[in-house]
Amino acid sequence: MKRVEIPDTEILERIRSGEKELFRIIMDRYAHLVFHVVRRYETDDEAMNERAHEIFLKTYERMDSFRGKSEFSSWLYRLAHNHCLDQKRRRNYHNAFFSELPGDFHEGMKDGNPAPDSAMEADDRSEALWKAMSRIGDDYAVPLLMKYRDGMSYEDISEDLNVPVGALKVRVHRARKQLKNYLEDVL
């Protein structure tokens, strides 16, 4: 007997209507994706589990903000990535002793004085890239990040996002083209 899988949108609607126990299906379905994101930021198993728990809690709390304009998996990937990035920033802010500053900060130092031009240029490039990423939309940005930043294969991305490999290749190609055009205009 073939198992019928309930679509994410239906599960989310039923959870919103009071069937809160169905959130377990979302957790089971997307644990692989969440842990994939968390592994990029955490090395300790306990910290990974804690971060994943926080992400699923945030997912539950913010479920109403999912509008269905993209795949739920794309929305969840973005939420997980942003949560981990926020946690990393907080950790870096609280532990920012000089010796623990990022390596690229030290590259801009000469005789103990920071080189403001190089630090500002790096910040400008980073800001421009993230603005460009936000302009291309989640359907394109998420697969692009998974492919090039996370080093995932198209098959793995397809499995995580539930999108055919061919469609992912087209999205990644279009994302690269849009990024290039936007960055050429800005930089």
Residues 54 and 123 in one domain: no
Q: For residues 67-74, give the mean pLDDT.
A: 89
- Domain tally, the chain: 2
Q: Is pLDDT at 14 greater than 90 in this prediction?
A: yes
CATH assignment of the domain containing 71: 1.10.1740.10
* Amino acid 116: pLDDT: 54
Residue appearing with tokens 């690269």: 176
Residue 4's φ and ψ, nearest 5 degrees, are -90, 125
Residues 90 and 15 in one domain: yes
**Burial level of 6, CB count in 10 A (0-12/13-18/19+)?**
exposed
Residues 76 and 117 in one domain: no
Q: Which domain holds residue 112?
A: 103-187
pLDDT digits (tens, 9 = 90+) for 137-179: 888 888 888 888 878 889 888 888 888 999 999 999 998 888 8
* Amino acid 184: pLDDT: 81
**Pick from 66, 96, 126: which residue ends a domain?**
96
